[in-house]
């Protein structure tokens, strides 16, 4: 787990979680029915009352872990912006935006870029979280700061994917 950044209160503010998560065959934990990042997103929802928006590419990644990795690397190398099943168009009703994803090749899956680049983050508070098996936050915080211009990016959290089911307390401490 990694925490860093400044501490501004998010208590009592209307919150939204924008996240990508993938189930199926997963590194270090085998087949999972719910993605690790989705588990953390649901913890945040339970603890804050936040709304959830799951980013889902029109063409899902393979259920096979190695094939998924190959697909994600190809997208990253091409700087792709995959089409999504649905888009979030407006976040003006929210004060705090939690942005979460697994780490794919050092950053977020490219579908997260597709979604985030369509939104206006001016004046928003952002808290980034990632799930991983050794990559920590990768370049996600820097990428979010670059994409989400005008936002105040606060402390971030990374949780090892194989430990998400034991991490609710860590998430709660991070939210405070």
Query: pLDDT for 104-116, tens place per residue?
Result: 999 999 999 999 9
Query: Judging by DSSP bridges, how do beta strands 51-54 and 15-19 pair with one another?
Result: parallel
pLDDT at 27 (0 to 100): 82
pLDDT digits (tens, 9 = 90+) for 131-162: 999 899 999 999 999 999 999 999 999 999 99
Cα gap 106→139, rounded to integer Å: 6
DSSP letter at 15? E
> Distance between CA 123 and CA 72 in Å, rounded?
31
> Which domains, and CATH codes, for the chain?
2-175 (3.40.50.360)
29 band by pLDDT with thresholds 50, 70 and 90 = confident
- Is the pTM of the predicted complex or chain greater than 0.75? yes
Residue 15 phi, psi (nearest 5): -120, 155
Q: Taking residues 22-30, what's their average pLDDT?
A: 88
């Amino acid at each position: 787990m990694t925490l860093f950044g400044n501490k501004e209160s998010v208590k009592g503010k209307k919150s939204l979680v924008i996240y990508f998560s993938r189930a199926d065959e997963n590194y270090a934990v085998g087949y999972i029915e719910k993605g690790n990042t989705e588990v953390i997103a649901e913890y945040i929802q339970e603890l804050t009352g936040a709304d959830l928006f799951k980013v889902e590419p029109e063409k899902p990644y393979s259920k096979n872990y190695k094939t998924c990795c190959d697909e994600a690397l190809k997208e990253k190398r091409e700087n792709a912006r995959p089409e999504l099943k649905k888009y979030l168009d407006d976040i003006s009703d929210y004060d705090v935006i939690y942005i979460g994803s697994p780490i794919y090749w050092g950053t977020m899956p490219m579908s997260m870029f597709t979604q985030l680049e369509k939104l206006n983050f001016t004046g928003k508070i952002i808290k980034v979280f990632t799930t991983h098996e050794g990559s920590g936050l990768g370049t996600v915080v820097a990428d979010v700061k670059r994409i989400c211009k005008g936002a105040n990016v606060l402390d971030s959290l990374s949780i090892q994917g194989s430990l998400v089911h034991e991490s609710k307390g860590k998430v709660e401490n991070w939210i405070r």
